[in-house]
Amino acid sequence: MSDIVHSSAAELAARIADREVTSVEVTQAHLDRIAAVEPAVHAFLHVDSERALAKAAEVDAKIGNGESVGPLAGVPLALKDVLTYSGAPTTCGSRILQDWVPPYDATVTKRLLAADIVILGKTNMDEFAMGSSTENSAFGPTHNPWDLDRIPGGSGGGSSASLAAFEAPLAIGTDTGGSIRQPAAVTGTVGVKPTYGGTSRYGLVALASSLDQPGPCARTVLDAALLHEVIAGYDPADSTSINAPVPPIVQAARSGDISGMRIGVVKEFAGEGYAPGVEHRFAEAVELLAGLGAEIVAVSCPNFRYAMPAYYLILPSEASSNLAKFDAMRYGLRVGDDGVASAEEVMAATREAGFGAEVKRRIMIGTYALSSGYYDAYYGQAQKVRTLIINDFARAYEQVDVLVSPTTPTTAFKIGEKVDDPLAMYLNDLCTIPSNLAGNASASFPVGLAPEDGLPVGLQVIAPPLADDRLYRVGAALERVLTEQWGGPLLSRVPDLGGPELEVVA
């Protein structure tokens, strides 16, 4: 019987439903864990103990009354601080929103609450989701539980770290160019970016509207699938939401049968810049997949080399417009309002003080790219490259059911290592970006530790839009065979972060 904080969400849900343990106990155990390890990890920006325990009590009462509850009822969850949750601050990791309490809940938040999930608090992130390391947070970085001197990935480093630190069994992230998948890879956890339009963006503070997607983060494939099912699905409040049933992901996660599946290895996602340990574990995993009955096919997607340039034009352009609303007039930080300064001056002073360096860089790039005279060469051209990338995927899918690659070229790098080199930082997203441009479903699954540094490596699976279930099928297959190989979950090897004796529930 594993102790509470080391259990999976599915296990906890079953035990809560069976009344073996209460949601309040489970929640309290996680709050205790948070208190113990947060000084080291700093995954959370805000912990909402009162509301979490109140919700837990409510769920316990419902179960006590014999009311039917959802499959994850009473299980605690960490919510990335980019999704609105009324009654507490939603900061997006930015000074400009540091005290903003939204008056409304995101659709994802509403669905979590309706599913009787207990929201523990809001997790740290790169400011406005711009980054690959969570070092761009205005409130200090999050530390990778595998090595506290290293980054937990970004922009959703708080969510992934909270899982790896056993502060929560479930988390929600958002992914624009890899912000769920890359943190999952470098923390040895599972992270899924649903098909674009699969999960509602209403209440997700927008970075790049045509790329953003909220998604599930967990330690196991089944947990991620169960959470995915709670949050995904059509939302009339989001015009870009797909009006179709959620694919059969839980079934796929339970099955894990990949015999006969055609798996494409993308030739362009290898070579220079990829750490040997990463390529090693990736190759091993691919062999395992072959051993399980999948057909491995080499595919080439030649236009993928233009994905990063296109992405770093499209994202800043959309972001420069999306972030214009932060102007000190209606909410958020206001600087320089001395009764004499004009609105324009106050806007400019506030944005100067409230935005960090990376945000400013991307706003400037975006402003430039959309300027008259430059639109066709930059943004316009990038949208064409986008079409070419979609075509590359389409051609690949004629031959294969899914594509695989390393999730990110390296393992977790040290805090401070790349923070002064924007382009070097951008390279972390090399493998993940194309899926966002094409709207594909994509996920990262842990496939081991790199031999040279003992740090987690992730394998990325990419499926055509609306085929999210294929991700879980492959992920479950890998998880099963690797867990057996390792003699237990990968995360059992994460260093002990100390703190009080963990309560073992017999």
Partner 1 sequence: MTLSREEVAALGRLARIELSAEELDHLAPQLDQILEHVAQVSEVAAADIQPTSHPLPLTNVFRADEPKPCLTVEAALSGAPAVEGNRFRVPRILGEEA
Partner 2 sequence: MSVMDAVINYEDALAKYDPVLGLEVHVELNTRTKMFCGCINQFGGEPNTHTCPVCLGLPGSLPVVNEKAVESAIRIGLALNCRIAEWCRFARKNYFYPDVPKNYQISQYDEPIAYDGHVEVEVDGQTYQIEIERAHMEEDAGKSLHIGGATGRIQGAEYSAMDYNRAGTPLIEIVTKPIEGTGAKAPQVARAYVSMLRDLVKALDVSDARMEQGSLRCDANVSLRPIGQQAYGLRTETKNVNSLRSIERALTYEITRQAAILQTGERVHQETRHFHEENGTTSPGRSKEEAEDYRYFPEPDLVPVAPSREWVEQLRGTLPEPPAQRRKRLAAEWGFSELEMRDAVSAGAIDLIEATVAAGAPAQSARKWWMGELSRKANDSGVELESVGMTPAQVAQLQALVDDRTINDKLARQVIEHVLAGEGDPAEVVKNRGLAVVSDDGALSEAVDAAIAANPDVAEKIRSGKLQAAGALIGAVMKAMKGQADAGRVRELILEKLGA
Residues at the contact surface with partner 2, assessed by CB under 8 A: 83-84, 90, 92, 97, 100, 102-104, 106, 201-206, 208-210, 236-240, 317-318, 320-321, 324-327, 329-331, 339, 343-344, 347, 367, 370-372, 375, 379
Q: Which is nearer to partner 2, 145 or 198 (CB)?
A: 198
Cα separation, 82 vs 173, whole angstroms = 8
Q: Which is nearer to partner 2, 98 or 367 (CB)?
A: 367
Out of 179, 320, 407, 444, the only residue in the binding site for partner 1 (CB under 8 A) is 320
Out of 255, 300, 367, 483, the only residue in the binding site for partner 1 (CB under 8 A) is 367
Which residues within the stretch 243-302 sit at the binding site for partner 1 (CB under 8 A)?
A: none
Q: Closest approach of Cβ 240 to partner 1, in Å?
A: 6
| 234 part of the interface to partner 1, by CB under 8 A | no
> What sections of 212-340 are H helices per DSSP?
221-231, 249-255, 276-291, 307-322
User: Which helix or strand (DSSP H or E) is residue 266 part of?
Assistant: strand 262-266
414 is catalytic: no
| 203 part of the interface to partner 1, by CB under 8 A | no
Out of 122, 143, 351, 473, the only residue in the binding site for partner 1 (CB under 8 A) is 351
State the binding partner of 460 from partner 1, partner 2, none, CB within 5 to 8 A by kind.
none
Exposure on the CB side of residue 188, measured as CA atoms within 13 A: 22
| 447 part of the interface to partner 1, by CB under 8 A | no
Q: Closest approach of Cβ 326 to partner 2, in Å?
A: 8
Which residues within the stretch 137-196 sit at the binding site for partner 1 (CB under 8 A)?
A: 196
Classify residue 279 by burial, with Cβ atoms within 10 Å: 0-12, 13-18, 19+: middle
Q: Which is nearer to partner 1, 67 or 99 (CB)?
A: 99
State the binding partner of 472 from partner 2, partner 1, none, CB within 5 to 8 A by kind.
none
Segment near partner 1 (CB under 8 A), from 36-44, 63-71, 255-263, 329-337?
Answer: 329-337
How many other CB atoms sit within 10 Å of the CB of residue 39?
Answer: 11
Give me the catalytic one of 55, 80, 122, 193. Answer: 80
| 450 part of the interface to partner 1, by CB under 8 A | no
| 394 part of the interface to partner 1, by CB under 8 A | no
Give me the catalytic one of 132, 137, 179, 435. Answer: 179
Give me the catalytic one of 7, 155, 159, 200. Answer: 155
Cα separation, 46 vs 51, whole angstroms = 12
Segment near partner 1 (CB under 8 A), from 41-49, 50-58, 259-267, 323-331?
Answer: 323-331
User: Which helix or strand (DSSP H or E) is residue 264 part of?
Assistant: strand 262-266
Q: Closest approach of Cβ 211 to partner 2, in Å?
A: 9
137 is catalytic: no
- Residues 78 and 172: beta-carbon distance below 8 Å: yes
Out of 147, 235, 327, 469, the only residue in the binding site for partner 1 (CB under 8 A) is 327
Q: What is the DSSP letter of 83?
A: B
Largest CA distance in the chain: 72
Tell me if residue 454 falls in helix, strand or coil. coil
Q: Closest approach of Cβ 91 to partner 1, in Å?
A: 12
Q: Closest approach of Cβ 267 to partner 2, in Å?
A: 31
Cα separation, 209 vs 176, whole angstroms = 9
Q: Which is nearer to partner 1, 12 or 192 (CB)?
A: 192
Q: Which is nearer to partner 2, 327 or 358 (CB)?
A: 327
State the binding partner of 205 from partner 2, partner 1, none, CB within 5 to 8 A by kind.
partner 2
179 is catalytic: yes
What type of residue is 364?
Answer: M
Cα separation, 218 vs 280, whole angstroms = 24
Name which of 452, 455, 446 is nearest 479 in CA terms.
Answer: 446
Q: Taking each helix axis as running N to C, give the angle between helix 381-399 and helix 307-322, from 0 to 180 degrees, rounded to the nearest 10.
A: 130
Q: Closest approach of Cβ 120 to partner 1, in Å?
A: 24
Which residues within the stretch 454-473 sit at the binding site for partner 1 (CB under 8 A)?
A: 465
How many other CB atoms sit within 10 Å of the CB of residue 196?
Answer: 23
Out of 2, 49, 210, 300, the only residue in the binding site for partner 1 (CB under 8 A) is 210
| 486 part of the interface to partner 1, by CB under 8 A | no
CA distances from 484 to 73, 83, 154, 307, 488 (A): 29, 36, 30, 37, 6
Residues 6+ apart with CB under 8 A from 479: 220, 221, 256, 445
Out of 63, 226, 263, 310, the only residue in the binding site for partner 1 (CB under 8 A) is 310
- The angle formed by the CA atoms of residues 379, 132 and 252, to the nearest 5 degrees, is 95
Cα separation, 396 vs 301, whole angstroms = 7
Out of 13, 56, 171, 308, the only residue in the binding site for partner 1 (CB under 8 A) is 308
User: Could you give the string, one character per residue 86-105, with x where binding to partner 1 holds by CB under 8 A and - elsewhere?
Assistant: --------------xxxxx-
User: What tokens does 214 get?
Assistant: 């909220």
- Residues 53 and 24: beta-carbon distance below 8 Å: yes
State the binding partner of 90 from partner 2, partner 1, none, CB within 5 to 8 A by kind.
partner 2
Q: Which is nearer to partner 1, 61 or 324 (CB)?
A: 324
Residues 6+ apart with CB under 8 A from 162: 41, 43, 44, 78, 123, 168, 171
Catalytic residue numbers?
80, 155, 179
